[in-house]
Amino acid sequence: METNFPWITPQTEFTTLNSIATYIKNLALNHNGFEYKDDSDLETQYDPTAWWHWYVNGSVTIPKNKNLTVPDNRLLVIQGNLVMNDNSIITGNVFVNGSLTINGKVNTVQSIRGTLYVDGNVTTSRPLSLGTEDRPTFIFATGNISFSSSVTGVGYFLCQDFTATKSSADITGGVYAADVAKLPPDGIIAQENLDETEFYTYAIPEILSIEGGNPEVIEFIYTFPKLN
């Protein structure tokens, strides 16, 4: 925040993702660090890219064979749902104040290379490729995360219920479910070399807390299955 918006004194007492989205909306409306955009500003681009810190008012659907790109040190906030389609790649840091759906067809592979905050559910229908050890994928969802096909790569997930049970699933990283975690047959492989100095670039905090069916608050760090 100090690097990108030195003139802003940020609000810190957020309790929901929606409250964060509302705060950013007000910044955009006041031309204070964020640009206010419509869904068509992304959907109609030949190569959909959020060139600055964008607040997009409305749900966004990216057509098949197109990617959604957020450059380094930028943030895209979508006030609505995000739908990706066949052979798509999400790159960068994206805040979805709604659900994320990634569609695909036979012989298509979709990818996420970034950090996603989703105020809803995350669902995929076809194979999904995650990040690498140099740049893991992080998905934090207030709802459920469900991978109905294979999922491979380095990723960390926080949600209510997590499902990735295909035998072809191969995940390195961490899964933290407030209620139920249905993991791949071989479980989750721990990442031994996660670089904490990159957390700011990844747009993630050092520690997150979750509340599930158990009223006890659980804090975790990004190694599986180590908890604070």
Query: pLDDT-derived band of residue 215, with 50, 70 and 90 as boundaries?
Result: very low
Q: What is the mean pLDDT of residues 4-9?
A: 49
DSSP 3-state assignment of 36? strand
pLDDT digits 0-9 by tens, 148-167: 889 999 999 999 999 998 88
Distances (CA, A) of 155 to 39, 45, 130: 28, 28, 6
First to last CA, the chain: 26
Q: What's the rounded Cα separation, in Å, for the pair 182 and 178?
A: 12
Q: What is the mean pLDDT of residues 137-141?
A: 96
Q: Can you point out the beta strands (E) in the chain? A: 35-38, 54-57, 60-61, 68-69, 75-79, 82-84, 89-96, 100-102, 110-118, 122-124, 128-129, 137-141, 145-147, 151-163, 170-182, 208-210, 218-220
Q: What is the DSSP letter of 28?
A: H
Q: What is the mean pLDDT of residues 85-111?
A: 95
The pLDDT of residue 94: 98
pTM metric for this prediction = 0.88
Q: Where are the alpha helices (DSSP H) in the chain?
A: 17-29, 40-43, 199-202
pLDDT digits 0-9 by tens, 24-82: 999 999 999 999 999 999 999 999 999 999 999 999 999 999 999 999 999 999 999 99
The pLDDT of residue 208: 64
